[in-house]
Chain A
Amino acid sequence: MSTLGPGDRVRVRDDWPETGGMPVHVRTPHYVRGQEGTVLRALGAFPDPADLAFARPAATRALYHVIFAQRALWPDGRPDEEASDEVLVELYEHWLERA
């Protein structure tokens, strides 16, 4: 099921299901959408919470741990010693595309 592997560069889809006017349940944080990161590890496959939240049949989705440079997400002008800080997020495969 896992088609991505450690070290793969990915981009999170720049999608905003919240804005469609229908109730949705999204587990991809807003701050990584459209951002590039690196797969750290595959975490297995799980039923999609976007479906579970509405008690409907859930697609099985591969889940990945993806690392982002913290400074790329928030260029807040931090000192250089913090340049290597990272944010690690669990993301489902259908939110990721190869970068």
Chain B
Amino acid sequence: MEDDPRRAHHDMGGVSRLACRAIDTGPHALTDFDKRVDALRQLLGAKGIMSVDELRRGIEAIDEPTYHRLGYYERWMRSIADNLLARGVVTADELRAALGAPASGA
């Protein structure tokens, strides 16, 4: 059975390409990065800066190969940055400058 070509790539229910893929049922502990991005997302929502719906839209905007290559919370972080830039909460110039600084190591 062919998958509908009109489907968005994140809309994965029943997709034939994945029908025979094994499910990794094992435990995967979250990293400190994972938990911090999760917490950041919650705070952005609680403060009315960015909604969970905007987070999802930003994730869905990631192209398909990148979506599958990135880790779960890497997708979140990318969407958060995308949304904060679009909203003007931070500017591209200042974010570039902050990225240029040596990582402080969370």
Contact = CB atoms under 8 A, between A and B. Distances in A.
Given A23-B57, A31-B4, A52-B54, 16 more contacts: A18-B6, A18-B11, A19-B6, A25-B56, A26-B8, A30-B6, A30-B8, A49-B53, A52-B51, A53-B51, A53-B53, A53-B54, A53-B57, A54-B57, A74-B1, A74-B14
Contacts of A30: 4, 6-8, 11, 13
Interface in A11-31: 16, 18-19, 23, 25-26, 29-31
A62 B64 CA distance: 32
Interface residues of B, number: 16
A31 B14 contact: yes
A53 B61 contact: no
B102 to A, nearest CB: 34
A1 interface: no
Contacts of A43: none
A79 B56 CA distance: 37
A22 B1 CA distance: 28
Closest 8 A-B residue pairs measured CB to CB? A52-B53, A53-B57, A53-B53, A30-B7, A16-B6, A25-B57, A49-B53, A18-B8
13 contacts: A18-B7, A18-B8, A25-B53, A25-B56, A29-B13, A30-B8, A49-B56, A52-B51, A53-B57, A55-B51, A55-B54, A74-B1, A74-B14
Contacts of B1: 74-76
